[in-house]
Amino acid sequence: MKAYVFPGQGSQKPGMGQEIFNEVSESRDLFKKANKILNFNITELMFEGSSEDLSQTKVTQPAIFIHSVISALTSKSFEPNVCAGHSLGEFSALVVSNSISFEDGLKLVSIRANAMQKACQETNGTMAAILGLADNIVESTCNEIEGIVNPANYNCPGQLVISGEVKAVKEACELLKEKGAKRALILSVGGAFHSELMSSAADELKKGIEKTEFKTPNCPIYQNFTSDPVKNPSIIKSNLLSQLTGAVLWTQSVNKMINDGVKEFYEVGPGNILQGLIRKIDNDITVGKI
C-alpha cells in the first residue's frame, strides 16, 4: 500500500511552484485559477517573493496548499491507497482524494490562514520544540504549569512541539530542561498554533466549512486530531475544526498507517520535512517524493 502525505506550514521556500508552472502545461490553469480565487497574485509571491514575503501565515498556507495539490494532480505516478497531511496539509489530502474541490479547498485554506494570523495578533502565544524526552513526560509537565500550554505537534519519537501562552511555554521549557530535555527551543512563529488560543480561528473556519460540500473521499484520510482513517464527511469536517485547537498526532498517524499495511510513503509538495520525520518514526519503511 502507498500513502501520500502533504506538508504544513514551514515547508515554504522562494521559487516554489515555478518549475511545475514552466514544465507542466496543465498546471498553469490551476495557478491562474488560484490567483483569481484569492484576489491577489499569489503565484508571483511563490515564484519571485522572498522568504519574508512567504512567511506571513495568510500567504504561507495557500502557497503550500497550491504547490502540494498541483504537484499531485499533475503527477502521472499519483495513485494513493491512503492520504494524510500535517496540519494545513490535511486540506491538500482532502482535495486530491476528491472530498472537496480545489476551489473550495483553497477558499477554506485562505479563511483558515487569515483567521489564524488574526488570532496570533490578538493573543500572546508561541511554540517550542522539545527534543529528547518521552511524550508522557512532556504531557505531564505541561499539566504542571499554570496558564495555557499543551502538546501541539507529535512529530516523531523524541520530538514534540508545545504551544500556548508565552509565559507558560517558557516556564515549561525550563522545567523540561531540568527533566532532561536535550533541547527546549522557542520557535520563531507568529503565535500558538494548535492550542486553545486558536479558538477564534476555529469559529471563523467553522462558518466556511458549513458552506462547503464535502464528499466521501476516494481513499481513507488519516486525520491529525484522532490519527484514525476517516471517510465519513461529517467526521472529516469535525476533525478539521478540532485540529485547530488540538494536537497534530503525526507520529500516531504514521504508525497506524504502517500497522494498516502501508509499505511506501511519498511526500507531495515543497520541502522534505515529512520524509525525515517518517524515517525517524520507522527507518525500515520506504520513503520518497513526487
Q: What does the pLDDT look like over 74-103, one tens digit per residue? A: 998 898 999 999 999 999 999 999 999 999
Does 177 share its domain with 284? no
Does 165 share its domain with 207? no
Q: Is residue 191 part of a domain?
A: no
Q: How many domains does the chain have?
A: 2
Question: Whole domain around residue 181: which residue ranges?
Answer: 124-186
Looking up residue 60, the CATH number of its domain turns out to be 3.40.366.10
Per-residue pLDDT at 243: 97
Q: Is residue 33 part of a domain?
A: yes
Tell me the average pLDDT of the chain: 96
- Asked if 67 is an active-site residue, the reply is no
Q: Is residue 239 part of a domain?
A: yes
Asked whether the predicted pLDDT for residue 63 surpasses 90, the reply is yes
Per-residue pLDDT at 190: 82
Does 135 share its domain with 95? no
Per-residue pLDDT at 39: 94
Per-residue pLDDT at 278: 98
Does 39 share its domain with 128? no
CA–CA distances in Å: residue 51 to residues 8, 45, 73, 87, 123: 16, 10, 26, 21, 24
Per-residue pLDDT at 108: 98
Does 117 share its domain with 229? yes
Looking up residue 162, the CATH number of its domain turns out to be 3.30.70.250
Domain boundary among 137, 161, 186: 186
Does 101 share its domain with 202? yes
Q: Is residue 97 part of a domain?
A: yes
Mean pLDDT for 149-177 is 98
Does 201 share its domain with 148? no
The model's pLDDT over 258-268, given as tens digits with 9 standing for 90+, comes to 999 999 999 99
CA–CA distances in Å: residue 237 to residues 240, 242, 247: 5, 9, 16
Does 270 share its domain with 149? no
Mean pLDDT for 158-163 is 98
Cα–chain center distance at 234:
20
- Asked if 87 is an active-site residue, the reply is yes
The model's pLDDT over 101-121, given as tens digits with 9 standing for 90+, comes to 999 999 999 999 999 999 999
The model's pLDDT over 27-47, given as tens digits with 9 standing for 90+, comes to 999 999 999 999 999 999 999
Domain boundary among 186, 204, 227: 186
Angle between helices 199-210 and 102-122 (to 10 degrees): 160
Q: Is residue 18 part of a domain?
A: yes
Closest-CA residue to 67 (of 117, 131, 142, 8) = 8
Asked whether the predicted pLDDT for residue 221 surpasses 90, the reply is yes
Domain boundary among 135, 161, 186: 186
Per-residue pLDDT at 189: 85
Q: Are 209 and 233 contacting, i.e. CB atoms less than 8 angstroms apart?
A: no
Residue labelled with grid coordinates 486540506 = 91
Q: Is residue 132 part of a domain?
A: yes
Mean pLDDT for 61-81 is 94
The catalytic residue among 97, 194, 195, 253 is 194
Q: Is residue 179 part of a domain?
A: yes
Does 88 share its domain with 221? yes
Q: Is residue 141 part of a domain?
A: yes
Stated pTM of the model: 0.96
Per-residue pLDDT at 194: 98
Per-residue pLDDT at 290: 87
Confidence of residue 198 (pLDDT cuts 50, 70, 90): very high
The catalytic residue among 71, 87, 99, 163 is 87
Does 81 share its domain with 52? yes
Asked whether the predicted pLDDT for residue 188 surpasses 90, the reply is no
Mean pLDDT for 252-262 is 98
Does 14 share its domain with 84? yes
Does 128 share its domain with 115? no
